[in-house]
Amino acid sequence: MSVSRDTIVAILLLAFCGVLWHASYDIEITNYGTMPSTVWPRIVIVAIGAFSALLLLRSLMLREEPADDAAPKAPFFQRYRNAGIIYALFLLFLLTLPTLGMHLGGALFVFLALTALGRPSARLIAVHALIAIVSIGVMWSIFTFGLRVILPQGDILPI
């Protein structure tokens, strides 16, 4: 018997509620005569738990999820390939931000994202590099000179 997506989501949500409930015991109880800090989050956790249980029940009763469309779906990796690439590149951008700074890191992120998502061709790679440099350059100028925001500077190019 296959388990529906909603069933898995509901179980994960219930587990999440369990973790949060346990974490709520770490909240300090004050004696200021006001509502304790644990009350509101616990109300919310209980409500999430109750509705997750409802979602679980409903998914078990319906047993099968309605199909989105009749067309066959692409394999999992292919379907979420682009989102995965973008997330990986964004994570890389964040991790290298202290070294590369916003300008270099940002330009590199845009270039790599464009190259990964676009068609592989030498001409397009040049176009992507140009777009990356111009777009980040324009944004960096607007924020630095127009809005007077000092964007994160990198160790490589501290501007």
Partner 1 sequence: MIVENVLFAFQEVFHWKNLGLMVIGTTAGLIAGSIPGFTITMAVVLTLPFTFGLSPVEGLSTMIGVFVGGLSGGLMSGMLTGIPGTPSSIATTFDGFPMARKGRPGLALGLGVWSSFFGGIFSAVLLVTLAPSLAKIGLEFGPWDYFALVLFALTITASLSGETLVKGIIAGLLGLFVASVGEDEINGVARFTFGNETLESGFDFLPVLIGLFAFSQLLSDVQDTEKARRPLMSGVEAKGVRVEHLAAIRIILSRWVNVVRSSLIGVFTGVLPAAGGSISNILAYDQAKKASKNSSEFGTGTPDGIIAPESSNNATAGGALITMMALGIPGDVVTAVMLGALLIHNVQPSPSFITENPDIAYAIFIAFFLAHFIMISMQAFCLRAFLLVVRIPMYMLAAVILSYCAIGVFALNNVQDDIWTLFVFGLIGYGMKLLGFPLAPMILGVVLGHVAELNLSRAISLSGTTDQFLLDMVTRPWALFFLIIAAFSVVFPWYQKARETASWTLAYLPALMICLAVPLSMMDGWPRTLIAVVLALGAVYLLVRSARRGWSVSTDDAA
Contact residues toward partner 1 (CB under 8 A) are 5-6, 9, 13, 20, 23-24, 27-28, 30, 32-37, 39-41, 44-45, 47-48, 51-52, 54-55, 58, 79-83, 86-87, 90-91, 93-94, 97, 102, 106, 109-110, 113-114, 117-119, 131, 135-136, 139-140, 143, 146-152
- Minimal distance in Å, beta carbon 83 to partner 1? 5
Tokens of 66: 């309605």
Helix axes 81-95 and 97-117, enclosed angle (nearest 10):
160
Question: Residue 84 has which token pair?
Answer: 């995965």
Which residue's CB is nearer to partner 1, number 41 or number 125? 41
Q: Which is nearer to partner 1, 1 or 25 (CB)?
A: 25
Residue 132 token pair: 């990356």
Task: Give every CB contact of residue 44 below 8 A, 6+ residues apart in sequence.
Answer: none
Q: How far is the CB of 151 from partner 1 (least distance, A)?
A: 6
Q: Is the CB of residue 90 less than 8 Å from the CB of residue 109?
A: yes
CA angle in degrees (0–180, nearest 5) for 151-156-158: 40
Q: Whose Cβ is closer to partner 1: residue 32's or residue 70's?
A: 32
Q: What is the helix, strand, coil percentage profile of the chain, to 5? A: 70, 0, 30
Q: Give 127: exposed, middle or buried? Use CB within 10 Å, 0-12, 13-18, 19+.
A: middle
By C-beta, is 87 or 157 nearer to partner 1?
87
> Based on CB atoms, which residue is closest to partner 1, 18 or 118?
118
CB of 110 to partner 1, least distance (A): 5
Min. distance of Cβ 127 from partner 1 in angstroms? Answer: 9
